[in-house]
Chain A
């Protein structure tokens, strides 16, 4: 199953909304968001995993033999459905939410004043990256996932359980969605039913320019998009700064014209062509 899951953004959104009490009220009342932080983190990560696993169980599992492009369309549809369900339950308007606001206050760090959240985000990201690398390279589940990603049929002939490996990748993606939800909400202080769309768009771009299917590629792509965005933010004249994202996308198009398969090209994808 080769799935580019655009509903991933909605996994993030759902995890974020789990922080508050489900009502259509304009003001948000903390639910899980009011718990002590270790419990809160665990609950949100579990929530992310649960929504991802549920999507697999109800939707993707039934479409295992569908073509990748069809699956992608399905994932778009699923994303919209989740967005609309969220709107029904929570209302369509964005809500302000104060979560761990001390993290966003500027602190003195090595002579510069930055919000503590930034080093925390970087630290968490690095840690997750290392954890994923370790998981994929050193554990039996990780090796099975890599084998299945490369040749699903052959992996099954070697006893790798198809259902299990797929569920595992969904669980992993849900876990990451939970982390992103927390970092994003703390940073923006906002909840909106469409908040996941932007996140997944940029993530998708990062993967594409980095090189589809390559973890180092995705990291590199993410870094590039991030740097391009902040440079544009800093140096674009005021009058056109609002179009910053358009310029980012322009940069992406130019890059793909030069390197159509992304920065890090995977041997396995070349061989298949």
Chain B
């Protein structure tokens, strides 16, 4: 079972001080899949990804590639092949585009591979190639989003976690970003878990959707199945009733 799941999250619980924001969240990411967690503001999406990447303390169990990673340092988790692109991009503004990209390669011992990966990333994001010497802070929002995804790729991850890749981007750019993520998944074999507020934007690209609201998983399923029923809408807004175990809507 663990071979076909790159990530297994079981009963994940997070509290900030006394406020519990995640109440036992469980889900899996199949190897080679593109999965989206969707949910309204404050649902706990960002907290979930941060906890998996080692940035926020959490209880429960998280297995990456079969190994428990909860409680490890962020850099240790990154070095084991899980790359996290947090909310708000975090481009190193004073570093050049190339330096931003190279940061991701320093933990790897294989220089020649790193050079090839740089070319690969630049092929995926041709706009970065034009601006390779420019300071990261000078890029447009869309270019910065490409840069941080490219930078995460340079660590040669098995799994990428990306928090709201569409945030602040024009619809056309969002399409472009997701098309690239889709290609990364199918051509490079990278598993990807994204967060989004709206399921609408990701429907056409992802293999599976997990609806998170009020710190609980409300619904999981393939977008094609979810699109047919009202379940997705109901789970997202907390209207209607549905059976949590099967994920089927009960009307």
Q: Which segment, of B92-100, B219-227, B240-248, faces chain A?
A: B92-100
- Asked if B63 is at the interface (CB within 8 A of a chain A CB), the reply is no
Please state if B103 and A155 are interface contacts (CB–CB under 8 Å).
Answer: yes
Given contacts A157-B84, A160-B103, 12 further A-B contacts (CB under 8 A): A140-B102, A140-B106, A144-B106, A153-B86, A153-B90, A156-B73, A157-B78, A157-B86, A158-B155, A160-B106, A161-B75, A268-B93
Q: Which residues of A contact B103 (CB under 8 A)?
A: 143-144, 147, 155, 158, 160
Min Cβ gap B136→A in Å is 9
Question: Which B96-112 residues have C-beta < 8 A from chain A?
Answer: 99-100, 102-104, 106-107
Q: Which residues of A contact B5 (CB under 8 A)?
A: none
B93 touches A271 (CB 8 A): yes
* Cβ–Cβ contact B55 & A146, under 8 A: no
Interface string of B114-131 (1 = CB under 8 A from A): 000000000000000000
A-B pairs with beta carbons under 8 Å apart, 29 shown: A140-B106, A143-B102, A143-B103, A146-B99, A147-B95, A147-B99, A147-B100, A150-B92, A153-B55, A154-B90, A156-B75, A156-B78, A157-B74, A157-B78, A158-B78, A158-B103, A158-B152, A159-B75, A159-B78, A159-B79, A159-B104, A159-B155, A160-B106, A161-B75, A162-B73, A162-B75, A267-B93, A268-B93, A268-B137
B51 at the interface (CB under 8 A from A): no
Query: Nearest residue in A to B99 (C-beta to C-beta)?
Result: A143
Q: How far is the CA of A96 from the CA of B103 in the complex (A)?
A: 49
A245 at interface (Cβ–Cβ under 8 A)? no
A25 at the A/B interface (Cβ < 8 Å)? no
- Size band of the interface chain B makes with A: 20 to 34
Q: Is the CB of B93 within 8 A of A159?
A: no
B95 near A146 with CB under 8 A, answer yes
Best-surrounded residue of A146, A150, A267 (most CB of chain B within 10 A): A150
Q: Within the assembled complex, what's the spacing in Å between the Cα atoms of A140 and B103?
A: 8
- Most chain A CB atoms below 10 A, which of B53, B104, B106: B106
User: CB of B199 within 8 A of chain A?
Assistant: no
Q: Which residues of A contact B151 (CB under 8 A)?
A: 158
CB-CB under 8 A from A140, the residues of chain B are 102, 106
Chain A residue numbers with a CB within 8 Å of B94 are 146, 150, 266-268
In the complex, chain A residues 127-155 whose Cβ is within 8 Å of any chain B Cβ: 140, 143-144, 146-147, 150-151, 153-155
**Chain B residue at smallest Cβ distance from A165:** B75
Contact yes or no, B75 A154, CB < 8 A: no
Give the Cβ gap from A12 to chain B, nearest Cβ, in Å. Answer: 29
Distance between Cα atoms of A243 and B104 in the complex (Å): 53
For chain B, residues 67 to 89, give those with C-beta under 8 angstroms from any C-beta of chain A. Answer: 73-75, 78-79, 83-84, 86
Q: Report whether B74 and A156 are in contact in the complex, using a CB–CB cutoff of 8 Å.
A: yes
- The winner among B55, B83, B92 for most chain A CB atoms within 10 A is B92
How far is A150 from B55 in the complex, measured between Cα atoms in Å?
A: 17
Q: Shortest Cβ distance from B74 into chain A, in angstroms?
A: 4
**Do A154 and B86 touch across chains, with their CB atoms under 8 A apart?**
yes
Q: Are A151 and B84 in contact (CB under 8 A)?
A: no
